[in-house]
Amino acid sequence: DVKVTQSSRYLVKRTGEKVFLECVQDMDHENMFWYRQDPGLGLRLIYFSYDVKMKEKGDIPEGYSVSREKKERFSLILESASTNQTSMYLCASSSTGAGDEQYFGPGTRLTVT
């Protein structure tokens, strides 16, 4: 059973703080993704990675960066949090060789005040 976990379910940060969101998957998946989910806007891709130390920008990368030092772990970094980054953040992973299904983590509800 695929398991994708995220470091926090709820997080409250102040404007200007540096924020780290971590995601870990236990199925040796090559691909990992970070999305943000906002009401009425669906799931929007921030960044993705298809291998260790590789990263690609998604549709809304501005204000975010990522790190993938190990295959199982993909971190999303908000260098200087702003109120418009208040959102639900979802991590997902998938296997290149075993279909295209993405498995999602439980999400982190981030509030920036």
Partner 1 sequence: GENVEQHPSTLSVQEGDSAVIKCTYSDSASNYFPWYKQELGKRPQLIIDIRSNVGEKKDQRIAVTLNKTAKHFSLHITETQPEDSAVYFCAAKDSGYSTLTFGKGTMLLVSP
Does residue 54 contact residue 33 with C-beta atoms inside 8 Å? no
| Interface residue with partner 1, options 19, 23, 25, 31 (CB under 8 A) | 31
Residues 51-110 that bind partner 1 (CB under 8 A): 56, 58-59, 90, 94, 96, 100-102, 104-107
Compute the distance between CA of residue 112 and CA of residue 108 in angstroms, rounded to an integer.
12
Compute the distance between CA of residue 66 and CA of residue 46 in angstroms, rounded to an integer.
9
| Interface residue with partner 1, options 8, 13, 27, 50 (CB under 8 A) | 50
Min dist. Cβ of residue 16 to partner 1 (A): 30
